[in-house]
Structure 1
Amino acid sequence: KHLFPMWVNRMCWRLGDTALPESVCSVPCRAGERKKVVKGVPCCWHCERCEGYHYQAGEFTCQLCPYEQRPARNRTGCQPIPIIKLEWHSPWAAVPVLLALLGIVATSGVVITFVRYNDTPIVRASGREMSYVLLTGIFLCYAITFLMIATPTLVVCSLRRVFLGLGMCFSYAALLTKTNRIHRIFEQGKKSVAAPRFISPASQLAITFTLISVQLLGVFVWFAADPPHTVVDYGEQRTPDPDRARGVLKCDISDLSLICSLGYSILLMVTCTVYAIKTRGVPETFNEAKPIGFTMYTTCIIWLAFIPIFFGTAQSAERMYIQTTTLTVSLSLSASVSLGMLYMPKVYVIIFHPEQNVPKRKRSFKAIVTAAAMSGKLTQKGGDRPNGEAKTELCESMETNSECVRYHGDQQ
């Protein structure tokens, strides 16, 4: 009986291993693995790893982690999913912030120039009151970028709802009022020499703010029906690999709600474009008719490109970044188009060519009606003159304190 242990120790097993083999059917499972018993052999099993968002709940079971959690590294329990948001230092935020900052600086420069030269002919002829309304809208289009990137809170979410569509509404309500005014003047000119109603600066402001009030009313109804709050969306970046799963902190604004918020402004934009097309035949540069037209055509192209990009990325893991960047860049680009086409040429003349910022010869409404009827001939004659240009602008009559129209020829 004393020789048996010595004999075992002298035995050499496979690959030179002298250790005594374990007399078991299956080896113990590691952490994060459950035992899957072999059918008909209760003492034997296979080890099966808990996959996906499951963790090892017992020796023989895996269970799914709660929705806002993911398995720990060893899969013996669950831990909270990290929460992320769009950071200021993110590359997705860098481009929109840069565009917004440049736009705010440029808009501020235009406003300062217009205030400084408020009583000069160019500023007066462009419609001072409506210009300031439009510049306010342009400024808001740039400023909304910072609210869209800021950390979502109750205050930030509330401000997003108010200002998301308000900048566009200010801009296109003002432009729509301008183009509608031009259209009514020339349509009235075909019937009578009497000036149409509601073309004074006060009337134009009243019409513009009536259009803007519709947007604000819709926002207040939205507040009442669904008060703003923040949510953590775990489904947006719930990737197949739990280690890469993230919860997205954001305002509770659905894609449908966002489009509804922008929908009224887009409707104003489309209507303004229609009027810009209708007034494309008026005498050149009549109250910015042609620059407004080019502005609206370009803006429509920008927003037509925005829609497929915004909705085409709805299933992407980078959805939050792509959609926020696309929206803010589209707003900044549309504001830049309006600023560049409508105001930069005026600022250039005011600052670098003050000799051109002088009063022009006035004509009555009756005279401009005749000019409208002969616009085709004027255009043809203007093309025949070397470096000549036929121009008409709306102005405020100093003698009668009412709206008049002036026509001037500008030799360049």
Structure 2
Amino acid sequence: MLWLVMLSILKLPKICQGSALKCPAGDIFPLPQDWYQPGDLLIGGVSSQLIYVSIEALFKEKPSLKLLGVPDMVPKFYQHVLALAFAVYEINQDLQILPNITLGFHICDSYYEAVMTYRSTLDLLFKSSRFFPNYNCDKQRNLIAVIGGLGAATSSHMASLLGFYKIPQMIYGSFDLQELNTTQYSSFYSMVPKESYQNIGIIRLFQYFGWNWVGIFATDNNSGEHFLQSLEPLLSESGICSAFIKRLPYIARLDDTFLDVNEIYSYLMSDINTFILYGESLTIAALRVILTVGGLENENFVFKKVWILTAQLEFVLTGLSRGWDLQIFHGAVTFAIHSKDIPNFGEFLKRTNPHWNKRDKFIQVFWEQAFDCFFPESWEQTEMGQCTGNENLEDIFKPLFEMSMTGHSYSVYNAVHSVAHALHAMYSSQFNYKRGKYTSRTNKKGDAVKLQNLQAWQLHPFLQSISFNNSAGEQVSFEHRMETGGKFDIINLETLPNNSFQRRRVGKVDPSAPQDEQFTLDENMLVWHPGFKQVPPLSLCNEHCRPGCRKKKKEGQPFCCYECILCPDGEISNSTDMDDCFRCPEYHYPSNDRDTCIPKNISFLSYKDPLGIGLSAVTVSFVLITALVLQIFIKHKDTPIVKANNRNLTYILLISLLLCFLSPFLFLGQPEEVSCLLRQTTFAILFSVAVSCVLAKTMIVSLAFLATKPGSRMNKWAGRRLPYSIAVTCCLIQASICIAWLATSPPFPDLDMHSGNKEIILQCNEGSVTMFYCVLSYMGFLALASFTVAFLVRKLPDSFNEAKFITFSMLAFCSVWIAFVPTYLSATGKAMVAVEIFSILTSGASLLGCIFFPKCYIILLRPDLNNRKQLKEHVLFKSQLL
């Protein structure tokens, strides 16, 4: 480009002194649109207003305005111009700031073209209609700062010129400053918050609604690339996937050709509910063209999507596209530069009309395109009505112009006041910043330095440290030298049937707020597209995995796309979309749906338990029956049937059985240290006493018969002490085993966490399992010995054949305890305790029933048989048979 070649030879300007140095001639056509207002100090502005549909250049004539063609305008951006003019007007009217100094301004247009942006910037640097690079001729305006531009490309083009002269450049567009070469050009200041804050806000918005499947449209330029590079890592870190990333053609001119309309349209028609749209100011209008070309004008089609719009986008239409329907953007959520209503700005807009300021060369085109009319002096029109100049700005629907201050206009307003307050600080201090210190700068007469003579580069130290409250009461200051602090507003757009819209401020992103208030959103204020059946709508690759399931990645798909599989047995997941299931804590168990952990119940065989009540009743019954039998035997102690086979052993046997029937109460109730120590040893010793007595009674029968034979040597063994010796010896052996058990590894209360899935079994741990089975084995040995002896003497002449009854009792006793071992080993918890109690009661009942019930029958019902004569005859008869 010609202008880029010129830039390579530019140096600091030389001042023409009189006629000693002749300035070269350099006529060029004046810009069609600008706004110049003189003043002691001048603020420049480069706005983005008009778009010219190019006419092909044939290079057969000199450059002229004809090459620019017919203009189209973005009427809403005219507010940026008015915001600058209003801020200057407000400062000039304020006697508290820059007294005796009048600010002026010169606002040019970038025309969305690099060439015209360079042209406008050069015009700000030099004279309006004539400029000479590297020279400063005649009486020039004192340009102290330039405000612009709206887009990154425009700002970069401006910076390449303004950076040579170190003129402060106040950028009011929302884009990443990394796009500008900060090392080469260090004279610009951003009037909007960092774009990174907006990206964090987008992530927080997705997390708020649980969206993890979004499509991204970004312009195919440096801005779009920077946006994607900063946003994509945040998406991944937050568990959000981009379903696609489509780069839209950079829209600098509305007559550009869209080469991939079909591809873009296919993305728009996908089943993805949420789209992020990042682009330049005209991207909305350009996207609407794509949708129109794609065929969305079908009345029967409902296009329902959630649009997430970034701050650089504006919900705008150009003058030529004023009739387009914007209902497809109903419910869009946009991140906007924070703004606040400025006092008197609305009245300033209402006074604006084509007749109020003849220096404003933007307003005529604005008026014609905003009100769809024409001025007679512009060009012939037959389809539009004639403009009167008295039309009301409040009648324009919002896609074309807004009466409330937009975020970009608010940034322009703050930029002007930042420059003014920096100048005022410089004026008030009357100091010059030199070598890191402030030193007084006066002339020989002692007069203070006049601001009219300052150089623009001298303003930088004051701009960097400026901090003030604007007329809306909000603080404006620069952070990290180049960017202002601030926040983003979250706006919900509600489109209206008349093709206008209503903004709803539903939240904010404020990095300076406390941690829990940096992102706020009022969901109740949000308006969604009426086509959504569920609000807020879902935006997922697949449905959430409910609690009780876990995610399983789909091969070849992004991590947001997965299958849901049920948690394995014994594991749960207690929230949606969990990657893995986990086991419950030791004292809990999984619910049936495998989505929560339920505290386990403490389980033991209590007296209140139905099983415990039943066993207690049976135990008490046997205790009473045994006591009754004992009472019968004591009452009839002198009868032959009671005296037979050692009456005292009979009493000991009944008392031991009575205590055996009482021992189950040690097994019922919550296991404690004392009960655990006593239950097995008490039961073992008592049953050993009972079985030992039975063995002694059996031995008496056998020895008594053998002793009666002539010449038998068994006489010396038959006597009163033998049965007691047998019973005592057998009991002492069992007692010794129990003492050794308690001394080495005694039983203790214990918790069984694993036997029951839904309960914690409170039980007695036997300590040494070996000792426990030694006790049982010894008791079994006694029972087997008694059974063997009784079986051998079952046909011997005995009083009422007691040996035969003992045989049956021992057979039942041994059967019970043989069955007990496998049953006990296979049971857990309450069942294990119940099995042992049942075995105690059954084996005790077999002894009581088989041995004593026949005798009770004779004592109570057949007393005629209970005499010595019958006893002798019975024994004699049995002896003869043998």
**Same fold, TM exceeding 0.5?**
yes
What is the rounded CA distance, in whole Å, between the counterparts of 2:541 and 2:612 in structure 1? 59
Contact 1:118 1:124 (C-alpha < 8 Å) held by counterparts: yes
Q: CA deviation at 1:50?
A: 4.4
Task: Tell me the equivalent position of 2:854.
Answer: 345
Structure 1 residue 103, shift from structure 2 partner: 1.2
Cα distance per residue 1:21-49 (max 9 Å; x no partner): 65543455555655545455445232555
Measured at CA, do residues 321 and 65 of structure 1 come closer, stay the same or move farther in structure 2, by a change above 3 Å? Answer: closer
Q: Distance in 2 between matches of 1:362 and 1:237?
A: 58
Query: CA separation in 2, counterparts of 1:69 and 1:199?
Result: 65
Q: Once the 2 structures are TM-superposed, how far is the Cα of residue 110 of structure 1 from its aligned partner?
A: 1.5
Q: State whether residues 738 and 775 of structure 2, in contact with CA within 8 Å, keep that contact through their aligned partners in structure 1.
A: yes
Matches within 5 A, 1:368-387: 378-379=880-881
Paired residue secondary structure (1:282): coil
Query: % of aligned pairs identical?
Result: 26
Amino acid at match of 1:295: S
Once residues 878 and 591 of structure 2 are traced to their aligned partners in structure 1, the CA distance between those partners, rounded to angstroms, is 77
SS at match of 1:118: coil
Of residues 835, 845, 848 in structure 2, which corresponds to 1:326?
835
Which structure is larger by alpha-carbon Rg, 1 or 2? Answer: 2
Cα distance in structure 2, aligned partners of 1:83 and 1:113: 44
SS at match of 1:164: helix
CA RMSD in angstroms, aligned pairs only? 3.6
* Structure 2 counterpart SS, 1:152: coil
Matched AA of 1:99: V
Superposed, which structure 2 residues align to 1:285-296 within 5 Å?
285=799, 288-296=802-810
Q: In structure 1, what is the equivalent of residue 711 of structure 2?
A: 192
The answer as to 2:844 corresponding to 1:335 is yes
SS at match of 1:135: helix
Tell whether the 8 Å contact from 1:12 to 1:18 is kept in structure 2 after alignment: no
Q: Of the candidates 42, 53, 69, which is equivalent to residue 570 of structure 2?
A: 53
Aligned residues: 358
Secondary structure of the 2:751 match is strand
Q: Summarize the Cα distance change of 1:273–1:80 in structure 2 as closer, same or farther, 3 Å threshold.
A: same
Q: CA deviation at 1:160?
A: 0.8
Query: Which residue identity lines up with residue 192 of structure 1 in the other structure?
Result: G
Structure 1, residues 300-342: CA drift from partner, whole Å, max 9, x if none?
A: 343444445444x34xxxx334433333223222222222232
Aligned partner of 1:99 in structure 2 is: 618
Give CA deviations for 1:220-260 in whole Å, capped at 9, x if unaligned.
Answer: 1111121221111112113xxxxxx2111100027765443
**Correspondence for 2:813:** 299
> Which residue of the partner structure matches residue 406 of structure 1?
none
Please report how far the alpha carbon of residue 184 of structure 1 lies from its aligned counterpart in structure 2 after TM superposition.
2.7
How far off is 1:51 after superposition? Answer: 4.2
Report what 1:117 is aligned to. Answer: 636
Pair 1:140-2:656 in alignment: no
Which residue does the alignment assign to 1:402? none
Q: Give the equivalent residue in structure 1 for 2:541.
A: 25
Q: Secondary structure at the match of 1:235?
A: coil
- Name the residue aligned to 2:582: 63
The 3-state SS of whatever aligns with 2:561 is: strand
1:44 paired to 2:560? yes
1:248 to 761, 773, 776: 761
> For 1:343 and 1:353, how far apart are their aligned partners in 2?
14
| 3-state DSSP of counterpart to 2:716 | coil
Distance verdict in 2 for CA 1:75–1:141, change over 3 Å: same
* Structure 2: distance between partners of 1:204 and 1:7: 107
Q: Which has the higher contact order (CA 8 A, sep 6+)?
A: 1
- CA–CA distance in 2 between the matches of 1:308 and 1:20? 62
Kept after mapping to 2: 8 A contact 1:84/1:246:
yes
- The residue identity in structure 2 corresponding to 1:155 is V
Deviates more, 1:160-169 or 1:84-93: 84-93
Closer, same or farther: CA 283–23 of 1 in aligned 2, 3 Å: closer
What is residue 344 of structure 2 aligned with on the other side? none
* 1:153, distance to aligned residue in structure 2 (A): 0.8
1:140-219 matched pairs, under 5 angstroms = 140-190=659-709, 192-193=711-712, 196-219=715-738
TM-superposed deviation, 1:182 = 2.3
State which of 327, 339, 347 in structure 2 corresponds to 1:6: 327
Cα separation, partners in 2 of 1:99 and 1:258, compared to 1, 3 Å: farther
Q: Give 1:268's aligned amino acid.
A: L
Cα 1:358–1:12 shift into 2, 3 Å: closer
Letter in 2 for 1:210: T
Gaps of 5+ in 2: 1-315, 318-323, 331-496, 498-528
Task: Work out the CA distance in 2 between the residues paired with 1:136 and 1:18.
Answer: 79
Q: Which residue of 2 aligns with 1:241?
A: none
Partner Cα distance (2:759, 2:816) in 1: 32
**Hey, what's the Cα distance between the residues in 2 that align with 1:95 and 1:196?**
50
Provide Cα deviations, 1:264-289, integer angstroms capped at 9, x if missing partner: 11111111111112112312536722
SS at match of 2:711: coil
**Counterpart in 2 of 1:395?**
none
Are 2:552 and 2:565, in contact at CA under 8 Å, matched by a contact in 1? yes
**Conserved? CA contact 2:794–2:807, under 8 Å:** yes
Residues 362 and 337 of structure 1: CA distance in aligned 2, closer, same or farther (over 3 Å): closer
In the TM superposition, what is the alpha-carbon distance from 1:359 to its structure 2 partner? Answer: 4.4
Q: Contact conserved, 1:35 with 1:45, CA < 8 A, in 2?
A: no
| Aligned with 2:602 (options 83, 95, 109) | 83
Whole-angstrom CA distance in 2 between matches of 1:18 and 1:98: 62
Contact residue 573 and residue 582 of structure 2 kept, 8 A: yes
Tell me if structure 2 keeps the 8 A contact 1:285–1:291: no
Q: Tell me, yes or no, if structure 1 residue 282 matches structure 2 residue 282.
A: no
Structure whose residues are more often helix by fraction: 1
Look up the equivalent residue of 1:62 and give its one-letter code.
C
SS at match of 2:753: strand
Comparing 341-350 and 136-145, the one that deviates more: 341-350
Whole-Å separation in 1 of the counterparts to 2:842 and 2:553? 64
Paired residue secondary structure (2:569): coil
1:56-103: CA deviations, max 9, x gaps?
Answer: 499544333333333579978756422211233434334433332221
Secondary structure in 2 aligned to 1:237?
coil
Scaled by the length of structure 2, the TM-score of the pair is 0.37
Q: CA deviation at 1:202?
A: 3.2
* CA distance, structure 2, for counterparts of residue 57 and residue 17 of structure 1: 28
Change (3 A) 1:50 1:4: farther
Aligned to 2:746: 227
TM-score by length of 1: 0.73
Residue in 1 aligned with 2:80?
Answer: none
CA contact (8 A) 2:746 2:766 kept: no
Write the deviation string for residues 169-195 of structure 1: whole angstroms up to 9, x where unpaired. 112111111212322333444562565
Letter in 2 for 1:293: T
Q: State the AA in 2 paired with 1:323.
A: M
Matched AA of 1:271: A
Q: Tell me the CA shift for residue 214 of structure 1.
A: 0.8
| Distance across 1 between alignment mates of 2:654 and 2:754 | 40
**Aligned residue type for 2:853:** M
1:132 corresponds to which letter in structure 2?
Y
